[in-house]
Amino acid sequence: MIMEHLPKLQTKNIVLASQSPRRREILTLMGLPFTPVPSQFEENLDKSSFKSPRDYVMANAHGKAADVAASQTDYDLVIGSDTVVVLDGKVLEKPKSEGEAFRMLAQLSGRQHTVATGVSLIAKGDTTRTFAEETSVWFAHLSDDVIGAYIKTGEPMDKAGAYGIQGRGGALVRRIEGCYFTVMGLPMHALAREIAELCKEHLL
């Protein structure tokens, strides 16, 4: 796993193609040094052109990573990521208004949905590894008052599916099946596995 490679990774220039505080927190928990560089990739891909939400988030993740890699003159690894909530096959991203946030949360109430997170790694020399992880999430039944009170906290407005499992939104979640960090925005185990493979193959 990645543990034995951490001393070597401490000497690498790792770039996170995101300004997400949640993704920064996960990389910090992993013990990885990194520099956050927000991507300018325009997330306007046509969802209907992809076979599945997995393919969609992988394409977005790669777009973000490639955009940042093109702007950097000296890096060893760029990490791009994208997360969506999927309900009944429909992709739910960040709400554009409080009304949309309310509708999303009302749809998720008392039901199971899937969170898909895509990750794209671009190592020096243009070696690319792109993958996705999915986690099933079950919500409790939410009254209109609960949804309204949660929206008033402001937390839903920059979150896919209008909730953050690592914050107050965690109280809405009855159970999950899969990786918690996938829901948070960056699947720690899968990311560690892929970075370790790059190290073993002397690509990082």
Residue 60: the pLDDT is 96
Per the structure, the complete domain to which residue 146 belongs is given by: 3-200
Range 148-159 average pLDDT = 95
Range 175-204 average pLDDT = 96
Residue 47 has pLDDT above 90, yes or no: no
As a whole number of angstroms, the distance between CA 57 and CA 37 comes to 19
Range 152-163 average pLDDT = 94
CATH number reported for the structural domain that contains residue 92 in this entry: 3.90.950.10
Annotate 145-168 with DSSP letters as a single string.
Answer: HHHHHHHHTSGGGGSGGG--TTTG
H or E segment to which residue 182 belongs:
helix 180-184
Can 55 be counted among the known catalytic residues?
A: no
| CB crowding 39-64: b at 16 or more within 10 Å, else e | bebeeebeeeebeebbbbbbbbbbbb
Phi first, then psi, for residue 108 (nearest 5°) are -75, -20
Whole-model pTM: value is 0.92
Nearest to 79 by CA among 141, 24, 17, 136: 17
Nearest to 95 by CA among 160, 151, 48, 40: 160
Tell me the Ramachandran region of residue 159: left when phi exceeds 0, alpha when psi lies from -120 to 50, beta otherwise.
beta
Residue 44 has pLDDT above 90, yes or no: no
Range 179-187 average pLDDT = 96
Residue 34: the pLDDT is 97
Tell me the Ramachandran region of residue 168: left when phi exceeds 0, alpha when psi lies from -120 to 50, beta otherwise.
alpha
Residue 93: the pLDDT is 85
Catalytic residue (choose from 67, 82, 88, 126): 82
Range 6-14 average pLDDT = 95
Residue 7: the pLDDT is 94
The residues that bridge with 141 in the sheet, in sequence order, are none
Q: What confidence tens digit (pLDDT) does each residue in 89-131 have? A: 999 889 999 999 999 999 999 999 999 999 999 999 889 999 9
- Residue 42: pLDDT band (50, 70, 90) is confident
Number of domains in the chain: 1
Alpha helix positions (H), 31-179: 53-71, 98-108, 144-152
Residue 201 has pLDDT above 90, yes or no: yes
Which residues touch 64 (CB under 8 Å, ≥6 apart)? Answer: 17, 18, 39, 41, 80, 81, 82, 120
